[in-house]
Structure formats: structure tokens, C-alpha cells
Amino acid sequence: MIEEIADDMFRIELPIPNSPLQTVNTYLLKGEERDLLVDSGMDEEECKASLQKALHNLGTNLEKIDFFITHLHIDHFGLAPTLASNGATIYLNAPEAFFFGNINLWEKGFEYGKINGFPEEDLKKHLAQKPRFLKEIPRKELRIAAENNSVNSPDGHRFQILGEGDDLNIGNHSFKCVFTPGHSRGHTCLYEPSQKIIFSGDHILEDITPAIFLWPGEDRDPLAEYLKSLDKVFGLDVSYVLPGHRSPFQKHRKRIKELKQHHQDRENEITSVMNAKGKHAFEIASKVTWNIPRPWDEFALELKWMALAETLAHLNHLAGKKEVHWKYGTDNICYYYLPQTT
Ligand SMILES: [Zn+2]
């Protein structure tokens, strides 16, 4: 599906197979010599064919396309290294290039699952299925790009790091990078102050709440980062938001208020299932509501894993505010509990 946003700007909605999100947006911006795609879609045949067809219909081709990636999740980044032609540039952020380039997330997954109460047999089963993104991601290049600011890949394209306040010019547009960590550690929006448009990636979506996770090996408070990034974008003069999923929308401040309220409600729900004695994160996750039409016991392991990571983002944030406490039990499992009020 192609939607014309302006005469040099198009939204291309791509299918993403086996994902509850169903589609992801990429945006084509036409320049003089080169064009730019904001996000690339997933490295799946269906998605790739759909993008190639759209580019053809829009009178461009991969030979003249560079990529700006809002964040390195597979639905946004997956296709870029596959499609980038000789001489193309892929712009991306340093924190995620560093993280995905260096850390062996999956090795840390077992300990992370275990200390948070994920049942051991299920954990082994879950971790046996190595996630797609770890197989696909060009880790060595990302590592070097994070260290040196850019790197040429053996396939002839270049990874170039962009950060807060950096400019990206294309055609008549002059964009600024706005660093908005939270949904991912290096998430970056592209903002054009003169036209008041923002490519928001997965930072702000209209009818989906971007998930905030704490993953294995992460020593951060992603929810605090996210709330801060929401405030940052709240302060921008924006008339049109071009998100990573679903339709463009207006009134970004109204949406930001709703997203903040959602996280407050979530926090309240999480503390409401806790007590002063202590529960591990997996148990807490099993007791809060999820937008899945079946009971917790019937969740696929992948879903339980994601629910745990989302619960941990909240628990970690609450612990940072001293609203919940935690300690390890004699079983080496981490228990979260409410402070005694008496
Ligand atoms: Zn996404």
C-alpha cells in the first residue's frame, strides 16, 4: 500500500509475516541524486517483494537509495543490509550498533530467565529457538561502526552513525536527528522543524502502545528513558507524525499524554498484584492483564518471555523510584516486594 504524503514523500506499508503487528511502514523521500528510505521492513520474501514493487511504481530503484533506520528491530532494520546497493549509506544509531555488535544476548538469557523465575524446562525450550534477528544481524560491521562512526561493509554499502542533533538533508528537506531512547536503547526520530513533521519510528504510534522491555544483559531503566523521550517530543512543534506502524496522525501531545497515562496505569496494576512478602517477576507477569485473548498458561513461550521483559522494565523503574524493593532469595531468584507501610 502506497500513500502520498507530499509530492516527494510516500508511505509504503509492508506486510510482516508471522507478526501480530501485521504491517510496518517505510517512507520514501525523493531527493535530487539520491532517495532516502526511512526504515526498511523485515528481511522476509513477502516484505522484500512488496517494497521492490512499490519502489518501482514510485519511479526509483535501489541503486539510488540510502536508508535511515529509526531503531535496529528486525521489522525496521532487517531489509536494509540485504537491499543496500553498492555505494549506499545506512544511517543508524551508535547505542544499538554497539549493543547488537558486542553483547551475546542469548548467552545471558538463561541466567536472566532463571533469576526472574522463568520455569527452567520452558526456559531451555525457549532459548533453544535462537531468534531470527541474531542470525541476520551484521554484527561485526555494527561493532566497528559503533567504534569508528562508520564502516564499509564487504558488500559495498556503508554504515554511518548519526546522533542527537545531526542533520540529514534530502531534497528540500532538512531533518534533525532527535534521540528518543526507550522502546529501544538508541531509538532516533527524524524531525523537520520547518514543516513540523516527525518520523517517529516506534517511539509514538497512534493506536498501538509501544512496548518497553528490559532484556538480558541490559543495565538501564528503559521506562525512565522512554518517559523522558516522550517529554522531549512533547516539547517539539509537530503538526504531523509519521509512525513506524499504522497511519500518520496529528495531535502528538494528546497521544503522548495517553501513553504516559498507560504506563501509570500499568504501574498501578503491577503494584496491585504485589505484596510485602515478595514475588518473582515471572509470577508478577503471570498475574497482570495482557492484551492476549487466552489465559496465561496457554501463552506461547515467546509471549511469556516478552511479558517478563515488559514486567521487568516496570519493576526496574519502580525499584529506581524506591517504590518497590528487591532481594535475592536463598534459591538465587530475585524477589520484588512492596515496602512495609506499617
Ligand atoms: Zn516496529
Q: Does one domain contain both 47 and 106? A: yes
What predicted TM-score, i.e. pTM, was given to this entire model?
0.94
**CA 326/CA 301 separation, integer angstroms:** 25
% residues pLDDT > 70 (the chain):
96
Distance 160 CA to ligand 1 centre (A): 21
Q: Does one domain contain both 115 and 236? A: yes
267, part of any domain: yes
> Is residue 101 very low, low, confident or very high in pLDDT (cuts 50, 70, 90)?
confident
Q: Does one domain contain both 247 and 265? A: no
Domain termination site, one of 202, 220, 251: 251
Distance 186 CA to ligand 1 centre (A): 14
342, part of any domain: no
The mean of the pLDDT values for the chain is 94
Distance 76 CA to ligand 1 centre (A): 6
Q: How far is CA 286 from CA 117, 124, 266, 342, in A?
A: 11, 19, 14, 28
CATH of the domain at 208: 3.60.15.10
Distance 74 CA to ligand 1 centre (A): 8
| CA angle in degrees (0–180, nearest 5) for 185-188-189 | 145
Residue 132: per-residue pLDDT? 61
Distance 157 CA to ligand 1 centre (A): 24
Distance 114 CA to ligand 1 centre (A): 28
Q: Does one domain contain both 235 and 294? A: no
Q: Is the pLDDT of residue 133 over 70?
A: no
Q: Does one domain contain both 46 and 186? A: yes
Chain length of the chain:
342
Q: Does one domain contain both 13 and 135? A: yes
> Is residue 131 very low, low, confident or very high in pLDDT (cuts 50, 70, 90)?
low
Distance 290 CA to ligand 1 centre (A): 19
Distance 338 CA to ligand 1 centre (A): 33
Contact criterion met (CB below 8 Å) for 19 and 75:
yes
Distance 42 CA to ligand 1 centre (A): 10
**CA 246/CA 250 separation, integer angstroms:** 13
Q: Does one domain contain both 264 and 231? A: no
Distance 63 CA to ligand 1 centre (A): 26
Please measure the distance between the N-terminal and C-terminal CA atoms of the chain and give it in whole angstroms.
59
Nearest alpha carbon to residue 25 among 9, 1, 5, 4: 1
233, part of any domain: yes
**CA 111/CA 124 separation, integer angstroms:** 11
Distance 205 CA to ligand 1 centre (A): 10
Nearest alpha carbon to residue 17 among 184, 162, 143, 132: 132
Distance 275 CA to ligand 1 centre (A): 34
Q: Does one domain contain both 86 and 177? A: yes
155, part of any domain: yes
Question: Which phi and psi (to 5°) does residue 312 adopt?
Answer: -65, -35
Residue 71: per-residue pLDDT? 97
Q: Does one domain contain both 225 and 273? A: no
Q: DSSP alpha helices (H): ranges in the chain? A: 45-57, 74-77, 79-83, 94-102, 105-115, 120-128, 132-136, 139-148, 222-234, 252-272, 281-287, 301-320
Residue 341: per-residue pLDDT? 64
- Looking at this protein, which amino acid is placed at residue 22? Q
281, part of any domain: yes
Over the stretch 330-340, which tens digit does the pLDDT of each residue have?
Answer: 999 999 999 97
Domain termination site, one of 251, 284, 300: 251
42, part of any domain: yes
Distance 211 CA to ligand 1 centre (A): 9
Coil/strand/helix, residue 60: coil
Domain termination site, one of 251, 284, 304: 251
Q: Does one domain contain both 247 and 264? A: no
Distance 14 CA to ligand 1 centre (A): 12
Q: Does one domain contain both 313 and 189? A: no
CATH of the domain at 272: 1.10.10
Q: Does one domain contain both 41 and 81? A: yes
Q: Is the pLDDT of residue 28 over 60?
A: yes
Domain count, the chain: 2
Q: Residue 15's domain spans which residues?
A: 2-251
